[in-house]
Structure 1
Amino acid sequence: MEITLQTRKPVEALTREDLDAFSIWEFADDEAGDEGQDETWIRPLERATIPRAADALSVAADFMTADGTPFVGIVALSTGDGIAFAGASLLADGAYIYAAHGEKTPLRYKTSTASELGKPPAGIYPLRFTLRALLDGEAAPRSGIFA
């Protein structure tokens, strides 16, 4: 399927191809209520940079686990009241895996993520990331760590 500005899908259905086509996605709340769609549906933004004063964006990122394994995925990001990294998900072998819940991920989520990836938690965390898009007004992509 070709990914266009008309693309709408559940966030859990994102693929590498989606993230290669569009780095920044937002929740399609104006689409909620349409048959088959709910609050988990997202749509791409036609932007090269991450807007300021935005909430609940999903931004493509490159990840590196503690043991050096690279992944592609998304960072949940809000810029409305400062910069807040709310969580992260990895795309692994066609699966969408919730990998971070807030900047300090509770142990139960780390254990679940580790199980899905077939690694011990110490092989994944700290989980480093670099966004694939710049924030408006910045010269380099933001990087960070989910502990």
Structure 2
Amino acid sequence: MSAPVTRTVEIAAPVPRVIEVISDLENTDRWANEAKQAKVQEHDEQGRPTTIAVTLGALTFTTTATYTVAYTDSSVTLTCVDAKLIRESTIAYTASDAGDGNTHLEMASTMEVTVKGVPRWGLERAMGSSAEKNLQSIKKDAEG
């Protein structure tokens, strides 16, 4: 797998608020611009989604993928466990206290697809653009 595509943003909200926004996986526009819909399949004892089925659309492709979700106090990591067009994918959000009630949020994503002919640079460009949009959505929701 290639190196992760990484983007960051500063958010005028505390870490717990930012993690709360990211953890709202039923509202896909908060965490994945390319997500068309998401259905939570399992929850943990705290009520957070631990397995989700997502319909994704990027470039000219649409697929359904199942992700497991792991949480810490400062991170949310989604790992693809089943998809037709995705061989491997991990999306990790890591928040750190930037002081004065602000949060530094990093999103790192990796993806390998099964589709022939998709150039690595094109995939990385799409992933970077999506990451930037996702972080701006999280920022807007967390600061709002």
| Bigger RCO of structures 1 and 2 (CA < 8 A, at least 6 apart) | 2
Q: Relative to total residues, which structure has the larger strand share, 1 or 2?
A: 2
> TM-score scaled to structure 1, two decimals?
0.35
Query: TM-score normalised to the size of structure 2?
Result: 0.36
